[in-house]
Amino acid sequence: MANKIVHEKGKAFDVSSMHGKWCNITFVGNDIGYAQVGIIGSGRDYIYFQYKDRKGIAAKSFIKDLTECRMNERKLKRQQELIVEENWDEGKNPYEMFLGKRCDIHIHSTHMFEGNPGLFAALILETEQGRVTVKENGKTFDLNQYMITGMMESQYE
């Protein structure tokens, strides 16, 4: 049976036992999650992960559970080595590492049959406490940071 950590509402969500492991991240509700990502750090509010050569974060408040992936040797050889960052700095805004990069952004879905699945790619222009300014298709938008379930560097520049 795979190692699994379930996020219990109102309790601290310690995922340090998953650092350096390949996991699936499941979000609450209708939000999509991340499959086979390497957990390389965590703080009070976010999990820092790696997928291939890209880095990303997931907000702990939207995570339902974290399940360790079982991978065979062949699959492990194709993955990049995980370098765990034990001292991942929680003191700064975690979205700052994405400034100037094109990222895949997951927004919390509040409606079951929402037309927009809450996933899009945009250039990160600015981050301040509580908001992230992005540019998509020539238009600039301000996103509420607390509605972002996850963000990962895009494979397309």
Q: What is the pLDDT of residue 116?
A: 52
Amino acid identity, position 80: Q
Q: What is the mean pLDDT of the chain?
A: 86
Mean pLDDT over 20-26 rounds to 92
Q: What is the pLDDT of residue 25?
A: 92
Assess if CATH 3.20.20.60 describes domain 4-78: no
Scan for tokens 């927004």, then name that residue.
Answer: 107
Q: pLDDT at residue 89 above 70?
A: no
| Residues 132 and 124 sit within 8 Å (Cβ to Cβ) | yes
pTM: 0.86
Closest C-alpha to 104, from 55, 59, 45:
55
Listed in order, the ranges of the chain carrying CATH 2.30.30.100 are 4-78, 94-153
CATH architecture, range 94-153:
Roll (2.30)
Torsion of CA 138, 142, 148, 150, to 10 degrees: 40
At residue 29, what are phi and psi to the nearest 5 degrees? Answer: 65, -135
- pLDDT tens-digit readout, 37-59: 999 999 888 999 999 889 999 99
